[in-house]
Amino acid sequence: MTHETVGVAVAQFAPSAAKQSNLDALADLARTAAARGARVIVFPEYSSYFVDPFDLSLAENAEDLDGPFATALRTLAGDLDVVLVAGLVERADDGRRVRNAVIAVGGDGIRAVYRKLHLYDAFGQRESDWVAPGQIAPPETFEVEGLRFGLMTCYDLRFPEVARTLADARVDVALVPAEWVRGPLKEHHWATLLTARAIENTFFVAGADHPPPLGVGHSMVVDPQGVPLATVGTATDVAVAHIDPGAIARVRRVNPALDLRRFRVTPR
């Protein structure tokens, strides 16, 4: 590690219906990550509130972008001089469904917002019964110490076009809050897709998941060659990767796949 690297952490914990407990857990992990040199800390999907299975309490506990959860993150980020990225159950228009949002928050406020595009209507689940899909729009990004960060969420990993739009936005690190549900081969899918998105876009990917029993855990930061730099197993914990901003340029000189491609992403 040198002074020129940028610390990026994945923070793994199990959010619940106890909103204050979620914030307390998040704060503890953020302090640990910051003490290890992290400047950007990624938390799981649904960090503000989570219940399994989903029910009407999801909408009852949804918040606005200036609500208590985002406000607490802003205070914490300012105290630690970091950017916190976490899943927010955001209030939607119809009162029954919510938005599955990810917010990046610094001490100066919200830096970027992403609303999940692809809802988890798969493997026997129906997220769209409770969640409204995000609108297709140019990615919101933010920068920390010369690195550009972009956002996506969980099931979006299975759609390579989402990560490609981040590459087109000149993102250096894709941040992926998730609640990657356990099941046969699901750990394999999670690790493989995080790695594939990094390799095909020649950028870093950081994915933060819920631990078992509901998630698979195995939160990790992957480099542009697909090599895991820092990982968490199945515990509540953080892992910090100290990213060299020059690594992307070096990889792309050898593997200029983004320049050689012959297709672009267009909305459906």
Active site residues: 45, 116, 154
Could you tell me where the DSSP H helices lie in 107-171? Answer: 160-168
> Of 198, 193, 178, 126, which Cα lies nearest the Cα of 11?
178
Give dist(CA 164, CA 39) in Å, integer.
Answer: 25
Give dist(CA 47, CA 62) in Å, integer.
Answer: 12
Q: Which helix (H) or strand (E) holds 164?
A: helix 160-168
Token pair of 247, please? 């690594």
Token pair of 231, please? 């990982």
What is residue 229's three-state secondary structure? Answer: strand
Give dist(CA 223, CA 138) in Å, integer.
Answer: 24
Give dist(CA 149, CA 203) in Å, integer.
Answer: 10
Report how far apart, in Å, the C-alpha atoms of 60 and of each of 55, 93, 98, 125 are: 9, 13, 9, 21
Is the Cα dihedral 38, 39, 42, 47 positive or negative? positive
Residue 36: burial class (beta carbons within 10 Å; 0-12, 13-18, 19+):
middle
- Cα of first residue to Cα of last residue in the chain, in angstroms, is 43
Could you tell me where the DSSP H helices lie in 81-159? Answer: none
